[in-house]
């Protein structure tokens, strides 16, 4: 459904919660795009807190917007979360361009910046967005800050915001140009859609859900090898733990078992 359809309240709630979550878990936000039924983020997670960040963001957005729409049902499809590790600065540029071109690829508007929902312009990289706590849903005397800032941080591998923009803008323009000859819904018609409406075409099922992105073949092989090693080591440690060998050491990057059961984990290399 179009439960994230752009509106003043939806935009304020999502951006505020994103800022709160990013500050709480020290997630560095580089880019974002929120469409009517899903969103994309490009972030750096320096302390391995992405699962907690995602849980906080998704949970609070769901409660606030379910209240807005008068719903009690699940807000998110449980199978849709995807976290993709980006190998190089070039891969960061490619996925940021993909994120910002998403309104165009979805047939909504001709340029990403025409989208009336949340969309982080490359021009804002390195700048700080300051916002007030929305009046909707959030208690005035609650524990969340009345005002908060969200900084669009320059991604790793770039010397400055200008260097990142100069790398990103031509790739983004190329992505948008690929869809230039098609018909677009347009911002006004997108805003006229009802939150409980659904897309006319169903979402494709059975697609691959990548865990890494690397244009360089050898870097991709390296990342996939590291992922395979992690999964093998994790499976062995989990089997030992289930056999009550509680001194089993899980590989660096283990999250749920560490949080839920306090298992020992190897140091990050």
What string of pLDDT tens digits covers the 269 residues of the chain? 999 999 999 999 999 999 999 999 999 999 999 999 999 999 999 888 899 999 999 999 999 999 999 988 889 887 778 899 999 999 999 999 999 999 999 999 999 999 999 999 999 999 999 999 998 898 878 789 999 999 999 999 999 999 999 999 999 999 999 876 678 889 999 999 999 888 877 666 666 678 888 888 889 899 899 999 999 999 999 999 999 998 999 998 898 899 899 999 998 76
Residue 103 and residue 118 in contact, taking contact as beta carbons nearer than 8 Å: no
| Residues 151, 87 within the same domain | yes
Q: How far apart are CA 154 and CA 160, in angstroms?
A: 7
In a domain, 2, yes or no: no
Per-residue confidence (pLDDT) for residue 205, from 0 to 100 = 63
| Residues 164, 240 within the same domain | no
- Length in residues, the chain: 269
| Residues 12, 141 within the same domain | yes
| Residues 134, 161 within the same domain | yes
**What is the total count of domains within the chain?**
2
Per-residue confidence (pLDDT) for residue 202, from 0 to 100 = 66
| Residues 147, 90 within the same domain | yes
In a domain, 113, yes or no: yes
In a domain, 64, yes or no: yes
| Residues 230, 176 within the same domain | no
Per-residue confidence (pLDDT) for residue 181, from 0 to 100 = 64
| Residues 242, 163 within the same domain | no
| Residues 108, 224 within the same domain | no
Residue that finishes a domain, picked among 215, 238, 257: 215
In a domain, 182, yes or no: yes
Q: How far apart are CA 223 and CA 131, in angstroms?
A: 38
Range of the domain at 228: 218-265
| Residues 82, 23 within the same domain | yes
Residue 93 and residue 213 in contact, taking contact as beta carbons nearer than 8 Å: no
| Residues 15, 118 within the same domain | yes
Helix (H) or strand (E) holding 32: strand 28-34
| Backbone torsions φ then ψ of 211, nearest 5 degrees | -105, -20
Q: How far apart are CA 152 and CA 149, in angstroms?
A: 10
Q: How many angstroms from the chain centroid is the CA of residue 80?
A: 11
| Residues 192, 228 within the same domain | no
Per-residue confidence (pLDDT) for residue 248, from 0 to 100 = 93
In a domain, 3, yes or no: no
């Amino acid at each position: 459904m179009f439960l994230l359809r752009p509106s003043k309240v939806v935009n304020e709630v999502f951006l505020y919660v994103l800022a709160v979550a990013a500050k709480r878990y020290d997630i560095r936000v580089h880019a974002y795009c929120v469409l009517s039924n899903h969103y994309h983020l490009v972030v750096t997670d320096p302390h391995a807190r992405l699962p907690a960040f995602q849980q906080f963001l998704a949970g609070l957005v769901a409660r606030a917007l379910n209240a807005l729409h008068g719903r009690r049902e699940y807000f998110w499809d449980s199978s849709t979360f995807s976290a993709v590790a980006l190998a190089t600065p070039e891969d960061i540029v490619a996925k940021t361009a993909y994120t910002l071109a998403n309104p165009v690829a979805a047939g909504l508007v001709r340029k990403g910046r025409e989208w009336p929902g949340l969309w982080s312009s490359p021009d804002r990289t390195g700048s700080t967005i300051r916002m007030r706590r929305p009046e909707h849903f959030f208690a005035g005397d609650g524990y969340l800050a009345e005002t908060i800032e969200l900084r669009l941080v320059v991604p790793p591998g770039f010397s400055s915001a200008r260097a990142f923009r100069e790398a990103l803008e031509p790739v983004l323009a190329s992505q948008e140009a690929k869809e230039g000859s098609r018909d677009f819904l347009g911002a006004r018609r997108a805003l006229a859609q009802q939150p409980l409406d659904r897309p006319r075409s169903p979402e494709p099922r059975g697609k691959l859900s990548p865990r890494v992105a690397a244009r360089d073949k050898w870097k991709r092989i390296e990342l996939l090898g590291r992922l395979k090693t992690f999964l093998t080591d994790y499976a062995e440690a989990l089997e030992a733990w289930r056999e009550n060998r509680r001194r089993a050491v899980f590989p660096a990057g283990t999250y749920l078992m560490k949080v839920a059961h306090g298992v020992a984990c190897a140091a990050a290399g």
